[in-house]
Structure 1
Amino acid sequence: MMTQADDLVWQQIYNLILNPRTREWERQVLVETKDNVNGFSLNTQLEQLKSELKPLAVRRNLTPDVMDFYLSITGEKQIDTRDKMSRHYQADLPYQERAIFAGGCFWCMVEPFDKLPGIIDVISGYTGGSIVHPSYDEVFSQITGHIESVEIIFDSRQITYQQLLAIYWSLIDPTDEYGQFDDRGESYKPVIFVTNNVQLSLAKKSKTDMINSQLFKKPIVVDIREVLKFWPAENYHQDFYKKNVSRYRAIKRSRKIFLKLLQTKKAMHRIFTIRE
């Protein structure tokens, strides 16, 4: 006889299967549980489901709703998988501001800002596209117009927008309009998204200063746009550098080597420009 608790579990499984945010692999596992072709008891099915989901769960790499369901059926400590999303929607205090930068994969754009004094939060997300609440898979498909970016909430009494701009320029190849480093395509373009006229003026000045510095042989192609809407990314993308340390270090090392080569090219270009 099915209990009320059993009914709730089945309803959660049905909802996750219908949820457009559920990944195809997750949906397939849930459908297999629902279909129960071998006629196992619910407890047996849930044990199987736990074992299927666990490898990604321990790495916090399940989609948010599936992660919440996994935690509920395992009895593990509940974690707020929407903390970044809730922070995004909180109203800012008078001394707080937001900067939004796109510079390739957002996994590598968080740590350089996150550890600075005056940084309240750094949220990975999507900006500049045509649909509401885009998923990672939709953005990755390169058909929505969204660009991976980070929203930096900062205390303007401790750090300025100009300082954040300076850090941003040091993290990217401003001559590459087709992506950044190993990340190619429209969703990885370098863009400064501004939230007001003051930021627009400062961003334009920083770009002009970069052009006038003649550090690069190729044109500076970083776009400056008004931000229309920033959508926080799924939980498994947030604070990637903390959750997936080894993988992040490998990606960071690759970007660091590329930037080192870029700095060498800049130095050589500057030397020969002066000689001319």
Structure 2
Amino acid sequence: MKTNQTELMEDLYNLLLNPATRDWERSQIRTAKIGIDSGANFDDQIANLEAILRPLALRNNLTPDVTDFYLKITNSALAGSSFDLSVHYQKDPPNQARAIFAGGCFWCMVEPFETKPGIISVISGYTGGHMDNPTYEQVVGGYTGHVEAVEIIFDTHVWSYKELVELYWQLTDPTDAFGQMADRGSNYRPVIFVANEEQRLIAEQSKLDLAISGKYKHPIMTAIEPATTFWPAENFHQQFYQKNPRRYKKLKRSRQQFLAFQRMQMKLRHGWRR
């Protein structure tokens, strides 16, 4: 094994304590740990656990932290180091600010921002809910009131908040209050979370400008809400487009096709009006 035994044993212990681990996953992990603690061959127990987890792993149906563990024990190239969240917890210097946007699955909301010059960090996470430290399973299940969102830390010398809001409109369907594209449910609703009065005024004016532009046949439904605690998502979800490029390309293509079709309808509608 390329990963040392001590590290994997710590992973097993943490997964047993992790509230996001499903009961079935926990039972398999517990069996492997008990076997190792009882003197069974370490590599054999890990290999057996990998074989048991494999069917769900191949269908992308393991919980995020167990997925990270599976990638580690299979020496997958996708098993990178933990995403550095330190910038999320640091106080912003004078030339930095933050924007929080929700626009459907956060897997598709990172790359369009992160690859732009002047963007310092884009973190996937959960916000707008009513419980602390929510897990992906809880949020997707609709138990916490959170939405999937991205926290964008940007250089104010390069980007203005207004420019980021304008880019956000290009990535989402603002007429859909109940999700985005194939992502349905309250946890996927589009929201601009504003940190202060200045951001609120900019977001509201931008939304008003979009509404009176006549680009959309239906009302603009994107909510503007005060920012609350932003909880970073599990490591598996951070920079998903880099870790899972093939899967991300399919999701991105589907999203782009929908938005392109929507924009074509806008142009046709404007043409008819003329």
The TM-score, its normalising length taken from structure 2, stands at 0.85
Question: Is 2:260 aligned against 1:255?
Answer: no
In structure 2, do the counterparts of structure 1 residues 28 and 226 end up closer, same or farther at CA, with 3 Å as the change threshold? Answer: same
Structure number with greater Rg is: 1
CA contact (8 A) 1:102 1:192 kept: yes
What residue number does 2:21 align with? Answer: 22
In structure 2, do the counterparts of structure 1 residues 267 and 138 end up closer, same or farther at CA, with 3 Å as the change threshold? Answer: same
Q: Offset of 1:9 from its aligned partner?
A: 7.0
Q: Offset of 1:23 from its aligned partner?
A: 4.0
Q: Offset of 1:22 from its aligned partner?
A: 2.6
Aligned length in residues: 264
Alignment partners' CA distance in 2, 1:272 and 1:66: 51
Q: How many percent identity over aligned positions?
A: 44
Q: Which amino acid aligns with 2:180?
A: Q
Local SS of the residue matching 2:20: coil
Which deviations, in whole Å up to 9, do the C-alpha atoms of 1:146-201 show, x marking residues without a partner? Answer: 00110000000011111111110011111110100000000010110011111111
Alignment partners' CA distance in 2, 1:130 and 1:269: 41
In structure 2, do the counterparts of structure 1 residues 219 and 72 end up closer, same or farther at CA, with 3 Å as the change threshold? Answer: closer
What residue number does 2:271 align with? Answer: 271
Which deviations, in whole Å up to 9, do the C-alpha atoms of 1:36-57 show, x marking residues without a partner? Answer: 49x7714232343356568959
Local SS of the residue matching 2:94: coil
Alignment partners' CA distance in 1, 2:247 and 2:236: 14
Which deviations, in whole Å up to 9, do the C-alpha atoms of 1:195-242 show, x marking residues without a partner? Answer: 111111100110010011011111111100011111111010010111
What residue number does 1:104 align with? Answer: 104
What residue number does 1:194 align with? Answer: 194
Local SS of the residue matching 2:254: helix
Alignment partners' CA distance in 1, 2:158 and 2:235: 28
The TM-score, its normalising length taken from structure 1, stands at 0.84
Q: Offset of 1:13 from its aligned partner?
A: 3.5
Alignment partners' CA distance in 1, 2:129 and 2:112: 25
**Aligned alpha-carbon RMSD (Å):** 3.1
Bigger shift: residues 144-153 or 6-15: 6-15
Q: Offset of 1:70 from its aligned partner?
A: 7.9
Local SS of the residue matching 1:112: helix
Alignment partners' CA distance in 2, 1:15 and 1:185: 31
What residue number does 1:137 align with? Answer: 137
| Residue segments in structure 2 that go unaligned for 5+ positions in a row | none
Alignment partners' CA distance in 2, 1:161 and 1:100: 10
Q: Which amino acid aligns with 2:223?
A: D
Q: Offset of 1:272 from its aligned partner?
A: 3.0
Alignment partners' CA distance in 2, 1:197 and 1:104: 25
Alignment partners' CA distance in 1, 2:71 and 2:41: 15
In structure 2, do the counterparts of structure 1 residues 9 and 169 end up closer, same or farther at CA, with 3 Å as the change threshold? Answer: closer
Local SS of the residue matching 1:216: coil
Local SS of the residue matching 2:104: coil
What residue number does 2:213 align with? Answer: 213
Alignment partners' CA distance in 1, 2:230 and 2:131: 11
